[in-house]
Each structure stands twice: as C-alpha cells, then as structure tokens.
Amino acid sequence: MAHVVLWVLFCGVSLVLGGCYQASSYKGDGRLIDHGWQSYSQRYVIDLGPVDLSHAGNYSYKLSNLPHAEFTIGIEIIEANQNHLNGPRPDHSGYVRLELKSEDGQTIVREDGPLESWTHSYGLGSTYSYLYRRGGQRDIPLPGGGAQIELLRNPAGGWGSYFIAQTSKDYMLNFHVLKPNPEKRPARLVSHGVDTP
C-alpha cells in the first residue's frame, strides 16, 4: 500500500513539474527540443540554425507556441581551439544586434554591441562557446543584513538577451551582423529555456 501511495505522489509531482507542454506544439522557425523537467538548467533548446558571423547579413525568425519558460537567446560558436580557464578568449570581434518583438510590436529584447562584450560561457576543454547578454541589476539591502539581487528588467520584461515566453503570444526575432568577424567559424543562433512560475 505504501508503495502505491509513493508511486501516485511521484506521478503527481512529475506532472506538476513537467507541465502539460509538448515540444510538438511549437510552431515557430527552427527546432525546439524538450529535455524534460529533470534537465532544469537547459530544459528547452531552440536551434534556429546557422548564422554567418564573417559576413554582414540579417536573419529573421518567428517563434510561436513557446512553452511558458525563461529563455536566453545567444550565439553558439565552434572555436578553432579549446577553451581554457586561464587562456585567452577566442577572437570574438564583430558587431551584432539582436531584437525580439512581441506580436503587438513591443520590443522585449534589443541588444547590440561588439561580440567581445557579450558574456562568454563555455566548458573547460570544449571548443563550444555560447555568447549572450546579461541585463543590469542592483542590490536591495535586507533588514537583517545582506542583500537581495533585483534584476532590472525593461518594461516588456526583457533582461539582456533573456525573456519570459508566454505560450499564447507570437514573437519575431531579428539578428543582424553589422560588422563581420573576418575569422570564419561555424555559428548558430540558439535559445535555452528553463521553467518559470
């Protein structure tokens, strides 16, 4: 009997955490993969395909029927050499603009600047780099001491290249390579999503 109760509880928790979203519901450009609720840090991955950072150009995508999650939009680059903790950062010269708008034309994300100013995320010894933008933040002092971090989101809810997707909304994403990086390396526009209340 106890085993049955535990199994029912486990199933109930799995349904609540897993939600009702099905990856096949996604109707936008690229491909959405759902790694399941146990892959919290990168549950959802939207691969929007290759971008050429070595040539000026514009790319446009429609995102529709997204899961209710917080997504980070970034650029995945395969470097010529492995990333090392104390090694030099790969050559990320070039200047790009990333803009995400909702169906009513509201700008949620608008980030532009030299790629070398974007946050560089990587695994030690890996040739993969992921470039994205963080927004501003401030410390809010707590009565008993210490501080709480407050993210300074824009009026549309964006924070750097992060946004919280609403399933019922359609989005337009535009990516512009304004100043190319002369060193050609494979790159893709990829968005990672995590569940959010």
Residue 6 falls inside a structural domain: no
Q: What is the pTM of this model?
A: 0.85
Residue 156 falls inside a structural domain: yes
Mean pLDDT along residues 56-63: 98
Mean pLDDT over each residue of the chain, to the nearest integer: 89
User: In whole angstroms, what is the distance from residue 38 CA to residue 55 CA?
Assistant: 39
Number of domains present in the structure of the chain = 1
- Host domain of residue 123: 22-195
Residue 85 falls inside a structural domain: yes
Residue 14 falls inside a structural domain: no
Residue 179 falls inside a structural domain: yes
The residue to which tokens 């030099």 are assigned: 88
How many other β-carbons are positioned within 10 Å of the β-carbon of residue 183?
14
The CATH number given to whatever domain includes residue 77 is 2.60.120
Residue 7 falls inside a structural domain: no
| 7-48 tens-digit pLDDT | 334 434 444 444 567 878 899 999 999 998 777 678 999 999
Q: What is the amino acid identity at position 165?
A: A
**Bigger pLDDT: 58 vs 19:** 58
| 61-111 tens-digit pLDDT | 999 999 999 999 999 999 999 999 888 999 999 999 999 999 999 999 999
Among 147, 126, 30, CA closest to 77:
126
DSSP, res 40: G
Residue 17 falls inside a structural domain: no
pLDDT the model gives residue 42: 81
Following DSSP, what letter does each residue of 76-125 receive, concatenated? EEE-SS---TTSPPP----EEEEEEEETTS-EEEEEEEEGGGSEEEE-TT
